[in-house]
């Protein structure tokens, strides 16, 4: 079965075509700058890359370009688009309603619309991608895979905030968590690598990129996670502030900051960028720190410190810890960050092996000592593969 996985952003569509159940990927790519005078297509197939300027005034047209490319006699990988039996869509917010991936119906579309105010930057473009795919492939099974679904097992003690309870009852203000598809994928992969049943494994998963979240996985289920009602809560990120005293916002409001300015500050001007004043890219900050830039060094130190705090906290939550997993752009590629987060953690049983940690290959590997009580792994995330798996199971 051919399964197309779609991740629609506000001005882009990423895609991967899977042959299921084998999981082979004959083609993948993305369209960027949708809605601009000229959009850009990058299409990878058979070890080759095809780049071209295309016209995509909206997501509907962008989907048409993708399907035409997949069925192109020269660079395509299918004879006709009707060979695509199912489409899996990444959707960021599923509220409390969706505990797993679902076949898309009018009711599901309505729910995704309803949760848009909880993820205004993500759900609307996700929904645009769904509608475009439904129009372009009317006979294919359409499946929604929610970032929040894996975290619906979090208990009330972890998801209820210390606000008046009627705020939760009226507005469903609670911890939802994000990156769920990634956390689920790497936690299950880690259990398999350790030869532990996924329902018995206690793992802390660290998804570290421009957006970062840490999740406590107990007996295969998410029981706590660092992101909250929105992806703003938790550790310091590329441009997001993470955990702060909420009274700071009231204080700044008295100084003349309005809601729009505060929102932009916390989401787009804070984190590594805000502290360093130089960059939200960890690679740039490490270079600047090596050159003696004190604020770049401070940003890196705060980043590592906050992650280490969450690892310690979630170790206490889990009671027994089998493994820590690093994934995401920073987690998979930055040996220095992994070492700093794991340093001084011998009291909870983490003993990292420097040679394994600093190696570039294999991408997926154990980086702790053989006798470390807690294993530490680098596992590249593959959210698209997880979505393809869910879509295949539902479409069967």
Ordered DSSP codes for 7-32: EE-SS-EEEEEEETTTTEEEEEEEEE
pLDDT digits (tens, 9 = 90+) for 339-374: 999 999 988 999 999 999 999 999 999 999 999 999
Mean pLDDT confidence for 120-127: 86
What does the angle CA 172 – CA 175 – CA 176 come to, to the nearest 5 degrees?
A: 85
Contacting residues for 392 by C-beta, under 8 A, at least 6 apart: 1, 3, 18, 20, 21, 86
In the chain, which residues fall in CATH 3.30.420.40?
2-146, 197-378
Using 50, 70 and 90 to split pLDDT, how confident is the model at 120? confident
Q: What is the distance between the terminal CA atoms of the chain, rounded to a whole angstrom?
A: 9
Using 50, 70 and 90 to split pLDDT, how confident is the model at 10? confident
Computed over every residue of the chain, the mean pLDDT equals 96
Residue 106's CB is within 10 A of a number of other CB atoms, namely 7
User: With pLDDT > 90 as the criterion, what percentage of the chain qualifies?
Assistant: 95
| The pLDDT of residue 333 is above 80 | yes
Q: Exposure pattern of 323-361 as b/e (b: 16+ CB <10 Å)?
A: bbbbbbbbbbbbbebbebbbeebeeebbbbeeebbeeee
User: Contact 126/146 with Cβ under 8 angstroms?
Assistant: no
Using 50, 70 and 90 to split pLDDT, how confident is the model at 117? confident
**Is this prediction's pTM over 0.85?**
yes
User: From CA 178, how far away is CA 198, in angstroms rounded?
Assistant: 20
Half-sphere exposure in the Cβ direction for 278 (13 Å, CA):
18
| The pLDDT of residue 119 is above 90 | no
| The pLDDT of residue 198 is above 90 | yes
- pLDDT the model gives residue 391: 98
Question: Which sequence positions are flagged as catalytic?
Answer: 147
| The pLDDT of residue 141 is above 90 | yes
Report the CATH architecture of 197-378. Answer: 2-Layer Sandwich (3.30)
Kindly give the residue spans of alpha helices, DSSP state H, lying in the chain. Answer: 59-70, 106-114, 123-136, 156-159, 165-171, 180-193, 247-254, 259-268, 271-276, 282-290, 294-318, 328-333, 335-342, 354-358, 383-395
Phi, psi of 78 (to 5 degrees): -130, 155
Question: Please, is 365 exposed, middle or buried when counting C-beta atoms within 10 Å of its C-beta (0-12, 13-18, 19+)?
Answer: middle
> Which residue is listed with tokens 């994934």?
327
Report the CATH architecture of 2-146. Answer: 2-Layer Sandwich (3.30)
| The pLDDT of residue 221 is above 80 | yes
Ordered DSSP codes for 191-220: HHHTT--TTT--EEEEEESSSEEEEEEETT
């Amino acid at each position: 079965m051919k399964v197309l996985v779609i991740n629609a952003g506000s001005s882009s569509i990423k895609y991967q075509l899977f042959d299921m159940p084998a999981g082979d990927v004959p083609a993948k790519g993305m369209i960027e700058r949708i809605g601009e005078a000229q959009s850009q297509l990058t299409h990878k197939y058979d070890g080759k890359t095809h780049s071209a300027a295309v016209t995509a005034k909206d997501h509907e047209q962008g989907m048409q370009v993708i399907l035409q490319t997949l069925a192109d006699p020269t660079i395509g990988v299918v004879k006709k688009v009707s060979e695509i039996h199912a489409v899996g869509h990444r959707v960021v917010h599923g509220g409390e309603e969706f505990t797993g991936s679902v076949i898309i119906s009018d009711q599901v579309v309505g729910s995704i619309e309803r949760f848009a105010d909880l993820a205004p930057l993500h759900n609307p473009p996700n929904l645009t991608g769904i509608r475009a795919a439904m129009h372009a492939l009317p006979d294919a099974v359409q499946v929604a895979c929610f970032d929040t679904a894996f975290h619906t097992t979090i208990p009330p003690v972890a998801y209820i905030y210390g606000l008046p309870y009627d705020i939760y009852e009226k507005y469903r203000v609670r911890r939802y968590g994000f990156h769920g598809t990634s956390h689920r994928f790497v936690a299950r992969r880690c259990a398999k690598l350790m030869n532990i049943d996924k329902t018995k494994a206690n793992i802390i998963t660290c998804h570290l990129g421009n957006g970062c979240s840490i999740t406590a996985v107990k007996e295969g289920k998410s029981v706590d996670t660092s992101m909250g009602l929105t992806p703003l809560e938790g550790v310091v990120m590329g441009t997001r502030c993470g955990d702060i005293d909420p009274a700071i916002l009231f204080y700044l409001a008295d100084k003349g900051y309005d809601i729009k300015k505060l929102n932009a500050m916390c989401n787009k001007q804070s984190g590594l960028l805000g502290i360093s004043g130089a960059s939200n890219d960890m690679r740039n900050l490490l270079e600047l720190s090596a050159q003696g830039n004190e604020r770049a060094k401070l940003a890196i130190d705060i980043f590592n410190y906050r992650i280490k705090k969450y690892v310690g906290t979630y170790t206490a939550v889990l009671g027994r810890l089998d493994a820590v997993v690093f994934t995401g752009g920073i987690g998979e590629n930055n040996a220095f960050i992994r070492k700093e987060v794991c340093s001084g953690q011998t009291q909870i049983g983490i003993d990292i092996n420097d040679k394994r940690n600093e190696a570039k290959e294999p991408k997926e590997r154990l980086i702790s000592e053989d006798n470390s009580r807690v294993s530490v792994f680098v596992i590249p995330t593959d959210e698209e593969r997880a979505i393809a798996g869910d879509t295949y199971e539902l479409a069967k």
